[in-house]
Amino acid sequence: MKKICIIICALFIGGHAMAENGQRLNDFVQANAAYTNGDYQKAIDLYQKVIQNGHPTGSLYFNLGNCYYRLDQIGWAILYYERAMHYIPDDPDLLFNLKHARSQVEDQPDQKTSIPLKSTLNQFRLSELFWFMMICHIGFWGILIVRRFHRSEWSYYTFVVLSIVWAISLVSFLVKWYDIYYDHRGIVVSQKAVVRAGPDEKETALFELHAGSIVGCERNEDNWRLIQFASDKRGWARMDHIEPIRNF
């Protein structure tokens, strides 16, 4: 009796999961069709539904970015492309579209010095760095175990090499993880965002930003966000004008 109950439960859960996946796939196909037919708003709703019914993926964010681009909402398009960059930073389609979208942003961003190692790291996905780190991690502790019983010259050299590679992989993973989970950047999603001296409409208007500009978000007060655009441009903007890239 107990066994039958377990089998029924398993079938129910499995069936439910399969049904959910089927629904997601169905919504995804419909969203793609809507995009092809030019019904971009419907495609957006369906892609959002797919995300809500499961995990987000880089491709779903990429597709959302495309929909917003077609609707001429550059801010939202860049926002979703940037979110997709957390998942598929090496995707050539994404890099092409993001570059193209960025070229249409009105505001000139600060020229940042690129760090060579960081830019190399940006090409890798978090999952790739994680698995590379895990292989090195297992190798490192494995060689330590081997050296407990067998202290030979080859095991010493392997230990030295593995320690270095392990440290590099660990640092690389942590840097990437920190970059994603502590990404305080936000995107101007409205066509125009006025930045003021304080969190109030009565405060002095300092400057204005346009859709697609990337800003650094600091803290929120009521319905206002403290942002930093360039090294010398700082102020408060309405929360609905700036959307944070990190959404988890």
Q: Please, which residue, 110 or 178, has the CB nearer to other proteins?
A: 178
Specify whether the CB–CB gap between 65 and 78 falls below 8 A. Answer: yes
Question: 3-state DSSP: the chain helix, strand, coil percent, rounded to 5?
Answer: 60, 15, 25
Chosen residue from 26, 41, 52, 127 binding other proteins by CB under 8 A: 127
Chosen residue from 76, 80, 140, 236 binding other proteins by CB under 8 A: 140
Residue 83 has which token pair?
């979110």
Q: Please, which residue, 153 or 232, has the CB nearer to other proteins?
A: 153
CB of 214 to other proteins, least distance (A): 19
* 148 near other proteins (CB under 8 A): yes
Q: How far apart are CA 202 and CA 196, in angstroms?
A: 9
* 134 near other proteins (CB under 8 A): yes
* 122 near other proteins (CB under 8 A): no
Q: Taking the CB of residue 124, how many other CB atoms lie within 10 A of it?
A: 16
The phi and psi torsions of 24 (rounded to 5 degrees) equal -60, -45
Q: Please, which residue, 176 or 225, has the CB nearer to other proteins?
A: 176
CB of 116 to other proteins, least distance (A): 14
CB of 136 to other proteins, least distance (A): 9
Q: Residue 191 carries which DSSP code? A: S
